[in-house]
Amino acid sequence: MPDADPALTVRDLTVAYNEEPVLWDIDWTVPAGTLTGIVGPNGAGKTTLLQAILGIETPAAGQVRIFGQSYEAARDRVGYVPQRGSVDWDFPTDALDVVLMGLYGRLGWIRRPGAEEKEEAHAALEQVGMADYADRQISQLSGGQQQRVFLARALVQEADLYFMDEPLQGVDATTERALFDLLRTLQQRDCTVVAVHHDLQTVPEYFDRVLLLNVRRIASGPVEEVFTEENLRRTYGGRVGFLRKNESPISDSASAPNRKEESRA
């Protein structure tokens, strides 16, 4: 059952690097059981927002609540998929070992993963269609396969709320479809998914809700209400020539529900 509390509440969140605010006064709520996309131009603070929520970055001000609790208290309910480019894929390890890292939090200090944990990791690799690559050195995996390994690592966390930083980046169309189906499966299990997304074309198709971010929160809410040309122009500074596949540009929010049905069909 979805929680009564929202999965995520962010209040007045401000993050600064060297005096320059990267995120300014963000207020944002993510209801439980939704699939939320974060979009915005480069340098909008998308990754920083996730990292501030997860305690990787220290905010200058503001508050983050996960299911009504602090992050420290709710940590076991959170899963994280960092950007693929954030790690060195030439590190001497194999796919299974990377997935096992998702269980380190549950294992606690010093204890090593055993047979039971390895079984779980195998099952997660199976879910993302990577069962045959468990022993493969990670540098020998393609970009899409590496992305799947990261997703499998998040799956073994068995979280209620997932944060994913561009989980569909650099994967081919078939893989993107398969990974997206996986996100939907997570949602059907009452999980909440928040994902940074770079392809504006597919936002209405993939997500229920969206956060338009450019240092400030430009807009957030159901896709059909806030994913408008006007809001996108405010987010991307008017430089965006936004065209949906086979359709004219979004004119206003009134026709949005229709459009969404089409794209789901």
- Separation CA 146–CA 142 (nearest Å): 6
Shortest approach of other proteins to residue 190 CB, angstroms?
21
Question: Of 94 and 199, which CB lies nearer to other proteins in the complex structure?
Answer: 94
- Separation CA 46–CA 66 (nearest Å): 18
Q: Which of residues 73-132 bind other proteins (CB under 8 A)?
A: 75, 78, 80, 82, 86-88, 91-94, 98, 101, 104-105, 107, 109-113
Question: Which range binds other proteins by CB under 8 A, 7-15, 30-38, 49-57, 244-252?
Answer: 49-57
Shortest approach of other proteins to residue 244 CB, angstroms?
34
Q: Which of residues 134-193 bind other proteins (CB under 8 A)?
A: 137, 139, 153
Question: Of 66 and 223, which CB lies nearer to other proteins in the complex structure?
Answer: 66
Tokens encoding 224: 């059909």
Question: Of 78 and 232, which CB lies nearer to other proteins in the complex structure?
Answer: 78
End-to-end CA distance of the chain: 27
Question: Of 84 and 208, which CB lies nearer to other proteins in the complex structure?
Answer: 84
Shortest approach of other proteins to residue 75 CB, angstroms?
5
Shortest approach of other proteins to residue 12 CB, angstroms?
22
Question: Of 86 and 174, which CB lies nearer to other proteins in the complex structure?
Answer: 86
Q: Amino acid letter at 187?
A: Q
**Cβ neighbours for 158, distance < 8 A, ≥ 6 positions apart:** 79
Shortest approach of other proteins to residue 47 CB, angstroms?
10
Residues in contact with other proteins, counted by CB under 8 A, come to a total of 29
Element (H, E) at 95: helix 95-100
Query: Is position 20 an interface residue for other proteins (rule: CB under 8 A)?
Result: no
CB-based contact 134:145 (threshold 8 Å): no
Burial of 40 (0-12, 13-18, 19+ CB in 10 A): buried
The residue written with tokens 């794209």 in the block is: 263
Q: Which of residues 190-249 bind other proteins (CB under 8 A)?
A: none
Burial of 215 (0-12, 13-18, 19+ CB in 10 A): buried
Question: Of 57 and 208, which CB lies nearer to other proteins in the complex structure?
Answer: 57
- Separation CA 61–CA 74 (nearest Å): 20
Question: Of 92 and 237, which CB lies nearer to other proteins in the complex structure?
Answer: 92
CA distances from 196 to 36, 50, 80, 250 (A): 9, 9, 12, 22
- Separation CA 47–CA 43 (nearest Å): 9
Contact footprint for other proteins (CB under 8 A): 51, 54-56, 72, 75, 78, 80, 82, 86-88, 91-94, 98, 101, 104-105, 107, 109-113, 137, 139, 153
